């Protein structure tokens, strides 16, 4: 699997936007970019995913560089509930025909300051 690089930790003030970077210089043309987050003592939860175009959903936005070698997860207004470890993961397209193994690295630990 192609590898991703994320900062170990980041801080943000409450109610300010947060930009979480991810580098994936060896990404292949068919790899999707996924973001999950994990709250303390819980299982990870899906945040967003994309292939080439920027994506928005109710939780966050995903900005993908034109060369696809990096991406940024954007939380528009950080809240205390957004304090978590954020994982950036690459994977091939899911065929729906079998298992789908995602490799979770150490991620970025986001702290939100009240």
Nearer to another protein by Cβ, of 44 and 68: the residue is 44
Q: Could you tell me the smallest distance in angstroms from the CB atom of residue 36 to another protein?
A: 8
- Residues 70-109: x where in contact with another protein by CB under 8 A, - otherwise, as a string: -----------------x---x-xx-xxxxxxxxxxxx--
User: What is the closest distance, in whole angstroms, from the C-beta atom of residue 97 to another protein in the complex?
Assistant: 8
Question: Based on CB atoms, which residue is closest to another protein, 16 or 104?
Answer: 104
Contact segment (CB under 8 A) with another protein among 10-18, 21-29, 35-43, 68-76 equals 35-43
Strand order in the sheet with 84-91: 9-13, 108-113, 84-91, 32-38, 45-50
63 bridge partner residues: 72
By CB under 8 A, residue 46 contacts another protein: yes
């Amino acid at each position: 699997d192609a590898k991703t690089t994320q900062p170990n930790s980041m801080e943000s003030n409450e109610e300010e936007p947060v930009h979480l970077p991810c580098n994936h210089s060896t990404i292949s043309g068919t790899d999707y970019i996924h973001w999950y987050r994990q709250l303390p003592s819980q299982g990870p939860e899906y945040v967003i995913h994309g292939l080439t175009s920027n994506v928005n959903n109710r939780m966050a936005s995903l900005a993908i560089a034109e060369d696809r070698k990096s991406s940024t997860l954007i939380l528009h207004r950080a809240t205390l509930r957004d304090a978590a470890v954020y994982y950036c993961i690459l994977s091939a397209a899911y065929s729906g025909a079998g298992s789908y193994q995602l490799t979770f690295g150490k991620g970025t630990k986001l702290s939100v300051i009240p």
